[in-house]
Amino acid sequence: MALAVKSWKALGTSVHVLATDAGELVTATTAVSEVLDEVDIAYSRFRDDSELSRLNAGPGRPVRVSPLLAMAIDAAQRAARLTDGAVDPTIGHAIRVAGYDDDFSRVADRGRPVNLRAWRVPGWQAIRFDRRSRTVLVPAGVELDLGSTGKALAADLAARAALAAAGAGGVLVGLGGDIATAGTPPSGGWRIHIAEDSRVAPDADGEVICVPAGGVATSSTTVRRWTRGTAVLHHIIDPQTSLPATGPFRTVTVVAATCLDANIASTAAIVRGEAAIDWLLSWRLPARLVENDGTIHYIGRWPDPSGVAAGATPYSGTRPAVRGWSASFSSPASLCWALCQRCAGRPLPGRGSSPPVCTATWRWRPSFSSRFTS
């Protein structure tokens, strides 16, 4: 089945729409464009006239927001809740102070040093949001940034709208590397080239997976980088420090039921750092993690890369069939604390949730983890 493809730029990034029925491509792209226009005016951080900008500009009072912005805030709060705050919408001030204060195409590559302090962002709990009345209250000093979940949500909404407009068949929407699908996939599934940068050509050497349905998202610290003084900064902010995340993984790709869920998981994995593997395993999400030194980890039911596209550089390395789990604690008190945290439904190790006097390490060994070296 020949797929019809249309690509263009929107929301400061690339948009790709694929349709299994070539005759419905125009209809599908029109629907996608409309959704992206609505998203832009609802929650763009870089438009003064967006609903989100007006909300941030008038803190301290309840505001009734549009259904789309309400959906985006709801999605952001859900992301924060499910990631124990690793993906938090209240990083707006932190990312602006770090230098990402405009559409990225207008952010200067290099600039004067910025004074960055490590401090905890206000936290998603500070936002008062009533889903039924669509009323939100942003306290003074808090700035919302829905960029992390907003793009993935937009991809999901666009794919759904495109399918509804097309009426049948299957649609894929790629929005800056975040991929959402809807409807009947092409034979064998949607082919996704996994890269660290979404600008890499789809036919370049590398790993390709086939996804019958759901979403794929990749978060990476290797793109959207800028330099201030001697510091190299990027756009994935750790809410615990308000600084760009400094974990061991530079790129994480996740496959989930929706692009939004995949993006939540991939972003949280970058922020969580070493604890990401255990956390992703607990959600049973297939994921591919690239360490800063290039080492690649495959977890969950990620397909075996030994059968990658012809011409791709083969991976070498061992597959240590590690099974089972172990846990170690520095003291009985830390064990009790860890168990209490688990009972409270908080994954371990929870960043920023460590007790002040003891540290607990909770190390699940991945059941079907594979380790390859690129």
Partner 1 sequence: MNSLTPTQRDRGLERLRRLTVGATAGALVAVVGVGYVAAASYAGKSSATASATAANTTTSTTTSTDSSSSSTDSSNSLQQAPQVPTTGSSGSGTVTSGGS
What residues between 188 and 207 interact with partner 1 by CB under 8 A? Answer: 188-204, 206
- To the nearest whole angstrom, how small is the minimum distance from the Cβ of residue 106 to partner 1? 16
Burial of 27 (0-12, 13-18, 19+ CB in 10 A): middle
Which of 144/348 has CB closer to partner 1?
348
Could you tell me which stretch among 53-61, 111-119, 120-128, 149-157 binds partner 1 (CB under 8 A)? 149-157
CB 113, min distance to partner 1, A: 25
Residue 247 three-state SS: coil
**Would you say 23 or 58 has its CB closer to partner 1?**
23
Q: Tell me: does residue 305 bind partner 1 (CB under 8 A).
A: yes
The interface with partner 1 within residues 248-267 (CB under 8 A) comprises 251, 253, 255-258, 260-261, 264-265
**Segment lying near partner 1 (by CB under 8 A), choices 52-60, 89-97, 135-143, 337-345:** 337-345
Crossing angle (nearest 10°) for helices 276-283 and 259-272: 150
- Residue closer to partner 1 (CB basis): 146 or 211: 211
Q: Strand, coil or helix: what is 204?
A: coil
Distance, CA of 245 to CA of 280 (rounded, Å): 18
Read off φ and ψ for residue 35, nearest 5 degrees. Answer: -65, -45
**Of residues 54, 284, 319, 323, which one binds partner 1 by CB under 8 A?**
284
Which residue, 52 or 153, is less far from partner 1 as judged by CB?
153
Which residue's CB is nearer to partner 1, number 141 or number 197? Answer: 197
Residue 179 contacts partner 1 per CB under 8 A:
yes
d(CA 287, CA 294): 15
Q: Should residue 74 be labelled a site residue for partner 1 when binding is judged by CB under 8 A?
A: yes
Indicate left, alpha or beta for 162 from its phi (over 0: left) and psi (-120 to 50: alpha). alpha
| Identity of the amino acid at 78 | R
Contact criterion met (CB below 8 Å) for 265 and 283: yes
User: Smallest gap, in angstroms, from Cβ of residue 153 to partner 1?
Assistant: 7
Pick between residue 92 and residue 176 the one whose CB is nearest to partner 1: 176
C-beta of 235: minimal distance to partner 1 in Å?
9
The only residue of 3, 97, 165, 358 in contact with partner 1, by rule CB under 8 A = 3
Asked if 73 touches partner 1 (CB under 8 A), the answer is no
State the Cα–Cα distance between residues 51 and 67, nearest whole angstrom. 11
Q: Which of 118, 321, 343, 357 binds partner 1 (CB under 8 A)?
A: 343
Nearer to partner 1 (CB atom), residue 130 or residue 203: 203
- Spatial separation of the C-alpha atoms in residues 219 and 273, rounded to whole Å: 13
Q: Is the separation of the CB atoms in 67 and 51 below 8 Å?
A: no
The CA distance from 179 to 202, in Å, is: 13
Distances (CA, A) of 77 to 80, 89, 323: 5, 7, 34
Identify which of residues 118 and 343 has a Cβ nearer to partner 1 in the complex: 343
Which tokens is 316 given? 């070498």
- Please tell me whether residue 31 adopts helix, strand or coil conformation: helix
The correct pick among 247, 286, 349, 350 for binding partner 1 (CB under 8 A) is 286
